[in-house]
Amino acid sequence: MNRSWIETFSESIGLIPKISHRPDWSEGLMMEGPKPLYKYPDPSEWDDFIELDSQAWPEKKERHYSIIPTTCFNCESACGLLAYIDKDTNQVRKFEGNPHHPGSRGRNCAKGPATINQINDTERIFYPLKRVGKRGEGKWERISWDQALDEISEKIRNSLESGHKDRVMYHVGRPGHEGYAERVLKAWGIDGHNSHTNICSAGARTGYALWHKFDRPSPDHTNAKVILLASSHLETGHYFNPHAQRIIEGMMKGAKLIVLDPRLSNTASMADEWMPTYPGSESAIFMAMAKIILDEKMYDRTFMENWVNWDEYLKNLYPEDTVEFDVFIKRLSQEWSDYTPEFAAKEAGIEADQIIRVARFIGEAGSKFSSHVWRGASIGNLGGWQVARTLHLLNVLTGSVGTEGGTAPSGWHKFQPSFFDDPPGPDNWNELSWPPEYTLSHYEMSEILPHLLKDNRGKLDVYFTRVFNPVWTYPDGFTWIEMLSDTSKVGCHIALTPTWNETAFFADYVLPMGHASERHDINSYETQAGVWIAFRQPVLREKARRDGKNVKYTYEVNPGEVWEEDEFWIELSWRIDKGDQLGIRDHFLSPYRKGEKINIDEYYRYIFEHTEGLPETAEQEGLTPLNYMRKYGAYLVKSSVYKKNELELSSDVIKESRVADNGQIIKDGIVVGIHLNGENCTGFPTPSRRQELYSQTMVDFGYPEHATPGYRIRSHIHPDNLDKEKNEYVLLPNFRLPTHIHSRSANSKWLAEIAHRNPIWIHKKDAESLGVKTGTLLKVSTEIGWFVDKVWVTEAIKPGVVACSHHIGRWRRQQDTGNRFMTNTIDIKNMGNGQWKMEVLKGVEPWKTDDADTNRIWWRDGGVHQNITHPANPDPISGAHCWLQKVSLSIPDLDEKYGDVFVDTNKSFEHFKQWNMWAKEKENHPEGLRRPLWMARPLTPQKRNFYLDK
């Protein structure tokens, strides 16, 4: 064997042993002829894929894998994963991307492959647990699934039989099961759905829904000429990986990227134009851009004339005007006269020239302008819903609604499953989730659930938290602890969770549910201008099936007795209706075996048999639809969907209708479509069937000043509300790190190693004026308490704004277990009179297990729990929690240490009352309605329940 000169040199100075003393592996490592490079194993190899074992090197040891698709559960995107199951050990060896998934196309972010950490977590909850001692004491006993099902079903049955239909609540953190739980709750006849949406996206949803009922945007980034993101979307936002790859595709084809963000996120650093706007000023920017596009006649006249309800705008706001499109444009220009670039620039703290320049890019992009806002500004600010409403105005003006390269309503790109049985909506209204004063709240008022209970507005007999951790994730966590500790408010708390969390510590039952590869779900999201469905499946169950074994319940094959909700709900429902007298069992009967309980295979078999095009595609391969999904894990229902508003109305709908002067097709007093150019078009699902620039709904429900999009609400953290003399700043507390899940990644060693601290980002000018440096301790005082964190001085944040990432600062008490990769050990003191103190006893430390990596933990700093010091700020219109905080910054006293937290829950209750009053002051119920009938509501009750006096 010839030595290279590097080897000769290295040998001579003793860096490597003499080559003659080393074994000659060259022969054994010879390549057996050229093999083409490939990215993914072909599906024909998935039953027996052979790969050399990297850990056996230099021995050439073959490993045989069964490759089984599933979907990631670590964010909403539900990207495709392939589980590589070692045929010798029957264990999952690794996860990689599934190239057959139309949304993710084989790619994942770091959190996808890290699923392997989660399933191999040495501190997993393997068995159902029941509390021993007082709630929150941290003592547990192992019980059987049978015992758990029997005891919980009895409590639910007792609650239902007591006549109350609002005392059983299912509160979901991470959804992703396409209507499954809603169907269960309808079967039980209760308005018991609650979600995390009001701390997440309700602001953006309200803004979009006012335009066209669909409450999310579906941008076609791939084909856009200009992409505008009002958040760090490419980096960590919604549909992170599927959107990120399409944004990059668009940019590679020449699209410009514009990012509004006070923080120089990774996304902003990739942008052609970074607009570091002051938080809450985004609507001013969008209105100024709208005015430029209007005044410079860059708007799409044809789209506006055909698809905007401009006639209603004139008739209602300017009844003396003639109803002509040019008059409408003139009135708009007048209405927007204050929104000059200079005004917006002053509000945002950026250059007016940049606003003008970007507005012209957008105008020139025309129908190829894609845009997105999610979380970020829309959830941060009082009136944050305005951000989505004014952003979508730019799409409307440029005619880029639902076009190639534009932004479509979400529902056009999302699959709706057909269920084997669809129970009627509940015949009641749950005021703990939908209090009467929040008439337009887009989702359940979950951020004030404990405050409503404290306010004696109701109580809960049975409360399920499902992959949901409000004690840690939500604002005002100590009020959540107070609520969960009080058995007179919450009779029984059941945590359905794949991992320990701060909320599960305060449960009566902790029931272990599967990670991505241990459960069933179907997923479909608007990641592109098409429609797909994906199948999350328990991969060891599918492996058992391939091996010819029968499995009745998923927990038989999962680690320990980890189960899944799907089967749990069927069994629980069957037991609630023990005597078959409540009518619940009727909704859980097999569509294939008369009178028998449905099983999970039948549930999905029915859905896939009723998925457009899937049976035919499966048949071409000689497969049933269910087996096709088991094999590939995903199916593209429609490859491209544009301009659905122009779809032809069915003749049934047209029958006995009439066409009004403005083109509206009216039947039985309701607008059902739009007559345009001789065609009868479906339109948008709004009362006018057009894009609603003018909203009669806002007028009717008491907000006439918001009949049209604008920048009329100044954020609660507007500079006018801050006192610089008192060192008051805006705290931006909700930016995400691309490698973390809200509170489900502390069990992942890879992700924890990448990021585990959450220092305060502060601009160097502000640092100088406060006299702090990187690493200095800073006391951050909110309106209800304070926390002590370290400083990171950077130019990547707007002066006047400080930021702290959302995910970090996880904790466990001395009596708790779990998540040691990222949890500080803390002590909580209830000081009485609503005052709570948290102190860090120990940071992160290594520990000994069978996984050698747990003993190699090198980091010690687990960050600081900031969310718990935030008051709940419910927006009176959208209902969204407004995340941005007014804080004052100071140097801590000598006895105030890193990680210390203090909160006064009496103050937080007063704070709730103050914000709640803003909704009460405007409470308006036209015709006795609790909320508009035409707007969507999760788990829609029967119509009569929409009226206060039903």
Q: Which residues bind ligand SF4 (CB under 6 A)?
A: 72, 74-75, 77-79, 104, 108-109, 111-112, 240-241
**Amino acid at residue number 623:** L
- Among residues 499, 493, 201, 489, the alpha carbon closest in space to that of 372 is found at 201
In angstroms, what is the minimal distance from the CB of 71 to ligand SF4? 7
In angstroms, what is the minimal distance from the CB of 102 to ligand SF4? 13
Give the nearer residue to ligand SF4 in terms of CB position, either 104 or 367: 104
In angstroms, what is the minimal distance from the CB of 117 to ligand SF4? 13
Give the nearer residue to ligand SF4 in terms of CB position, either 103 or 262: 103
3-class state of residue 387 by DSSP? helix
In angstroms, what is the minimal distance from the CB of 528 to ligand SF4? 14
Give the nearer residue to ligand SF4 in terms of CB position, either 72 or 939: 72
Give the nearer residue to ligand SF4 in terms of CB position, either 79 or 460: 79
Structure-block tokens of residue 877: 């219109």
In angstroms, what is the minimal distance from the CB of 263 to ligand SF4? 20
Give the nearer residue to ligand SF4 in terms of CB position, either 523 or 686: 523
Residues 29-54 as b or e (16 or more Cβ within 10 Å = b):
eeeeeeeeeeeebeeeebeebeeeee
**CA 146 to CA 572: how far, in whole Å?**
10
In angstroms, what is the minimal distance from the CB of 525 to ligand SF4? 9
In angstroms, what is the minimal distance from the CB of 33 to ligand SF4? 35
- Give yes or no for a contact between 263 and 761, defined as CB atoms under 8 angstroms apart: yes
- Among residues 849, 827, 830, 846, the alpha carbon closest in space to that of 899 is found at 827
Give the nearer residue to ligand SF4 in terms of CB position, either 358 or 534: 534
Phi and psi, residue 14, nearest 5°: 80, 15
**CA 871 to CA 207: how far, in whole Å?**
24
Give the nearer residue to ligand SF4 in terms of CB position, either 291 or 742: 742
**CA 504 to CA 497: how far, in whole Å?**
8
Structure-block tokens of residue 560: 């320990």
Cis bond before residue 58 (omega within 30° of 0): yes
Structure-block tokens of residue 722: 């801050």
- Among residues 690, 691, 689, 707, the alpha carbon closest in space to that of 699 is found at 707
**CA 885 to CA 882: how far, in whole Å?**
8
Name the residue with tokens 């595609």: 617
In angstroms, what is the minimal distance from the CB of 767 to ligand SF4? 33
Structure-block tokens of residue 41: 């194993």
Give the nearer residue to ligand SF4 in terms of CB position, either 140 or 525: 525
Give the nearer residue to ligand SF4 in terms of CB position, either 107 or 157: 107
- Among residues 354, 359, 380, the alpha carbon closest in space to that of 369 is found at 359
Beta-strand relationship, 168-172 and 885-890: unpaired
In angstroms, what is the minimal distance from the CB of 517 to ligand SF4? 12
**CA 245 to CA 97: how far, in whole Å?**
14
Give the nearer residue to ligand SF4 in terms of CB position, either 111 or 716: 111
In angstroms, what is the minimal distance from the CB of 359 to ligand SF4? 32
**CA 859 to CA 808: how far, in whole Å?**
14
Q: Cα-Cα-Cα-Cα dihedral of 739, 744, 746, 751, to 10°?
A: -20
**CA 741 to CA 375: how far, in whole Å?**
15
In angstroms, what is the minimal distance from the CB of 238 to ligand SF4? 10
Burial of 922 (0-12, 13-18, 19+ CB in 10 A): middle
**Beta partners for 762?**
793
For the chain, the straight-line distance linking the first and the last C-alpha, in angstroms and rounded, comes to: 90
In angstroms, what is the minimal distance from the CB of 174 to ligand SF4? 11
Phi and psi, residue 280, nearest 5°: 95, -10
- Give yes or no for a contact between 508 and 494, defined as CB atoms under 8 angstroms apart: yes
In angstroms, what is the minimal distance from the CB of 536 to ligand SF4? 10
DSSP state of 100: T
Give the nearer residue to ligand SF4 in terms of CB position, either 221 or 225: 221
In angstroms, what is the minimal distance from the CB of 77 to ligand SF4? 4
- Among residues 884, 903, 902, the alpha carbon closest in space to that of 893 is found at 902
In angstroms, what is the minimal distance from the CB of 81 to ligand SF4? 7
Give the nearer residue to ligand SF4 in terms of CB position, either 212 or 233: 233
In angstroms, what is the minimal distance from the CB of 267 to ligand SF4? 14
Cα distances (angstroms) measured from residue 207 to each of 234, 393, 686: 21, 10, 14
**CA 476 to CA 908: how far, in whole Å?**
7
DSSP state of 837: E
Give the nearer residue to ligand SF4 in terms of CB position, either 245 or 390: 245
Where residue 459 falls (left for φ over 0; alpha for ψ -120 to 50; beta otherwise) is beta
- Among residues 346, 447, 462, the alpha carbon closest in space to that of 714 is found at 346
Give the nearer residue to ligand SF4 in terms of CB position, either 739 or 781: 739
In angstroms, what is the minimal distance from the CB of 563 to ligand SF4? 22
Give the nearer residue to ligand SF4 in terms of CB position, either 108 or 306: 108
- Among residues 363, 408, 438, the alpha carbon closest in space to that of 211 is found at 408
In angstroms, what is the minimal distance from the CB of 948 to ligand SF4? 41
- Among residues 686, 117, 75, 612, the alpha carbon closest in space to that of 374 is found at 75
- CA torsion through residues 730, 279, 217, 708, sign: positive
Give the nearer residue to ligand SF4 in terms of CB position, either 292 or 822: 822
Give the nearer residue to ligand SF4 in terms of CB position, either 96 or 783: 96
- Among residues 884, 883, 901, the alpha carbon closest in space to that of 892 is found at 901
Give the nearer residue to ligand SF4 in terms of CB position, either 109 or 290: 109
